[in-house]
Structure 1
Amino acid sequence: MRILETIGFDLGHGETAVAKAIVESIEPPQMLEINNKKNQITALGWHPKLGYLVGEQALIQAGVTQLSISFKQKPNHDPNYKKTISTFLATYYQKLQESKQIEGEESSYFYIGCPSGWSMSDRQAYQKLLQEVGIPHLNVIPESRAAFMQAKEAGKLEYEKLLASVLIVDIGSSTTDFTLVKSLHEIPLDFGSNTLGASLIDKAIFARTLDKHEQKPLLEKVFQEYPHHQARCELACRKAKEDYFSNEQLYNDPQSFARGFESINEQIYFIPQVNKLMMEEILHQPLPELGNKSWIQAFHDAVSEAKTKLQQLETIPKLVLMTGGASRMKFTHQICQQMFPEPESQLRPDPEPERCIALGLARVGRWDLRAAAFQQEVNQLLDSQKLTELISRHIPELVELLTQPLAENLIDHAVRPGVKDWQKNKIRTLADLETSMKNRAEEWLKGNVAQQIINNQCIRWFNNKIQPDLAAVTDPICRKFQIPRSSLRFEDSIEPAFVNPELRIGDAILADTVAFIVNVVIGGGTVASIITLILTGHLTWPIALVYGASVMAAGMELNRKTVQETIKKNIDIPSWIRSSLMNDQKIADMCVQIKPELENVFREQLTNNQAAFEQLTQKVEQGLQKALSMKVQEAVILIQ
Structure 2
Amino acid sequence: MKYAVGLDLGDGESALCWLPTAGRSEAQLYARGTEGSAIVTAIARVHFEEDEDLSFTAEARYRDIIGEEAVLAKNARHFSVNFKTRPDPADLQTPQPLIFAQILLTEFFTRYPEVRRECVVYVGHPAGWDRKSVETYQKHFSAMDVPVRLVAESQSALVHVRDRRAEHRQAGGLDRVLVVDVGSSTTDFTFVDDLIPRNLQVGSDLGCREIDATLAEMVRKAFANDTKFIESLGQDGGQDMLLLLCRRAKEAQFAGARLRLQELQAGCDDKFTPFVVPSVGWLGQKEIPQQVVRAPGGWAERLTATLIEVRDQLGQDKPELIVLTGGGSRMPVVRQICGETFPDAVVEDDRDPAFTVARGLASTGRHRVAVERFRQEIQMLKDQPVFNDLIRTRLLSSFGEVRSVLSERLEMDLEQSKKPSQRLDELIREMAGMDHIFRKLRVELESSVTPLVLGICRSYGVRDDQFRLDFTVPDIVSSMMKARIRTAWRTMGFSQGVWDAATMVGQGGGVLLRGAVLAIRKAGAGPVLAAAAISAAAGGVVVGGAKGIEYLARRRLQTMLATAELEPTEVAKLVEQVAEAITIQMDARAVEIERFLAPDAETTDDY
* Bin for the TM-score computed over the shorter chain: 0.7 to 0.9
1:33-182 equivalence runs, <5 A: 33-36=31-34, 37-49=36-48, 51-77=63-89, 82-98=94-110, 100-101=111-112, 103-132=114-143, 134-155=144-165, 158-162=170-174, 164-182=175-193
Deviation per CA, 1:529-566: give whole Å up to 9, x if none. Answer: 7999xx9xxxxxxx999xxx9xx99xxxxx99877226
Deviation at 1:165, TM superposition (A): 1.3
Task: For residue 361 of structure 1, give the secondary structure of its aligned residue in structure 2.
Answer: helix
1:71–1:463 distance in 2 versus 1, CA, 3 Å: same
Task: For residue 64 of structure 1, give the secondary structure of its aligned residue in structure 2.
Answer: coil
1:285-364 equivalence runs, <5 A: 293-311=297-315, 314-342=316-344, 345-364=345-364
Report what 1:513 is aligned to.
Answer: 477
1:164-563 equivalence runs, <5 A: 164-191=175-202, 194-213=204-223, 215-224=225-234, 226-247=235-256, 261=265, 264=271, 268=275, 269=277, 270-271=279-280, 272-273=282-283, 277=287, 279-283=289-293, 293-311=297-315, 314-342=316-344, 345-382=345-382, 391-392=391-392, 395-412=395-412, 414-416=413-415, 419-420=417-418, 436-437=421-422, 439=423, 442-443=425-426, 445-446=428-429, 450-453=431-434, 455-464=435-444, 466-467=445-446, 470-471=449-450, 473-474=452-453, 476-478=455-457, 480-481=459-460, 487=464, 494-495=465-466, 498-499=467-468, 504-505=470-471, 508-522=472-486, 524-525=488-489
Deviation at 1:237, TM superposition (A): 0.7
Report what 2:504 is aligned to.
Answer: none
Q: Distance in 2 between matches of 1:335 and 1:165?
A: 19
Q: Is the contact between residue 382 and residue 580 of structure 2 (CA under 8 Å) also seen in structure 1?
A: no
Deviation at 1:137, TM superposition (A): 1.8
Deviation at 1:245, TM superposition (A): 1.3
Deviation at 1:103, TM superposition (A): 2.8
Q: Distance in 1 between matches of 2:262 and 2:307?
A: 28
Task: For residue 95 of structure 1, give the secondary structure of its aligned residue in structure 2.
Answer: helix
Q: Is the contact between residue 44 and residue 88 of structure 1 (CA under 8 Å) also seen in structure 2?
A: yes
Q: Distance in 2 between matches of 1:578 and 1:380?
A: 60
1:20–1:629 distance in 2 versus 1, CA, 3 Å: closer
Deviation at 1:301, TM superposition (A): 0.9
Report what 2:587 is aligned to.
Answer: 629
Report what 1:490 is aligned to.
Answer: none
1:624–1:83 distance in 2 versus 1, CA, 3 Å: closer
Unpaired runs of at least 5, structure 2: 50-62, 500-506, 518-526, 598-607
1:563–1:388 distance in 2 versus 1, CA, 3 Å: closer
Q: Distance in 1 between matches of 2:169 and 2:386?
A: 38
| Worse-matched range after superposition: 208-217 or 364-373 | 208-217
Task: For residue 458 of structure 1, give the secondary structure of its aligned residue in structure 2.
Answer: helix
Q: Is the contact between residue 237 and residue 260 of structure 1 (CA under 8 Å) also seen in structure 2?
A: no
Report what 2:503 is aligned to.
Answer: none
Report what 1:32 is aligned to.
Answer: 30
Task: For residue 21 of structure 1, give the secondary structure of its aligned residue in structure 2.
Answer: strand
Q: Aligned residue pairs: how many?
A: 551
> Residue 355 of structure 1 aligns to which amino acid in structure 2?
F
Task: For residue 323 of structure 2, give the secondary structure of its aligned residue in structure 1.
Answer: strand
1:42–1:578 distance in 2 versus 1, CA, 3 Å: closer
Task: For residue 159 of structure 2, give the secondary structure of its aligned residue in structure 1.
Answer: helix
> Residue 336 of structure 1 aligns to which amino acid in structure 2?
C
Q: Is the contact between residue 6 and residue 362 of structure 2 (CA under 8 Å) also seen in structure 1?
A: yes
> Residue 126 of structure 1 aligns to which amino acid in structure 2?
Y
Q: Is the contact between residue 530 and residue 598 of structure 1 (CA under 8 Å) also seen in structure 2?
A: no
Report what 1:10 is aligned to.
Answer: 8
Q: Is the contact between residue 42 and residue 70 of structure 1 (CA under 8 Å) also seen in structure 2?
A: yes
Q: Distance in 1 between matches of 2:227 and 2:39?
A: 32
Q: Distance in 2 between matches of 1:421 and 1:265?
A: 107
Q: Distance in 2 between matches of 1:277 and 1:368?
A: 46
Q: Distance in 2 between matches of 1:128 and 1:358?
A: 21
Q: Distance in 1 between matches of 2:151 and 2:82?
A: 20
Task: For residue 103 of structure 1, give the secondary structure of its aligned residue in structure 2.
Answer: helix
Q: Is the contact between residue 258 and residue 273 of structure 1 (CA under 8 Å) also seen in structure 2?
A: no
1:570–1:42 distance in 2 versus 1, CA, 3 Å: farther
1:544–1:95 distance in 2 versus 1, CA, 3 Å: same
Q: Percent identity?
A: 19
Q: Is the contact between residue 183 and residue 327 of structure 2 (CA under 8 Å) also seen in structure 1?
A: yes
Q: Is the contact between residue 8 and residue 357 of structure 2 (CA under 8 Å) also seen in structure 1?
A: yes
1:235–1:80 distance in 2 versus 1, CA, 3 Å: farther
Deviation at 1:446, TM superposition (A): 2.0
Deviation at 1:459, TM superposition (A): 3.8
Q: Is the contact between residue 34 and residue 95 of structure 1 (CA under 8 Å) also seen in structure 2?
A: no
Deviation at 1:280, TM superposition (A): 2.8
> Residue 180 of structure 1 aligns to which amino acid in structure 2?
F
Task: For residue 197 of structure 2, give the secondary structure of its aligned residue in structure 1.
Answer: strand
> Residue 564 of structure 1 aligns to which amino acid in structure 2?
A
> Residue 410 of structure 2 aligns to which amino acid in structure 1?
L
Which of 1 and 2 has higher RCO (CA within 8 Å, sep 6+)? 2
| TM-score in terms of structure 2 length | 0.78
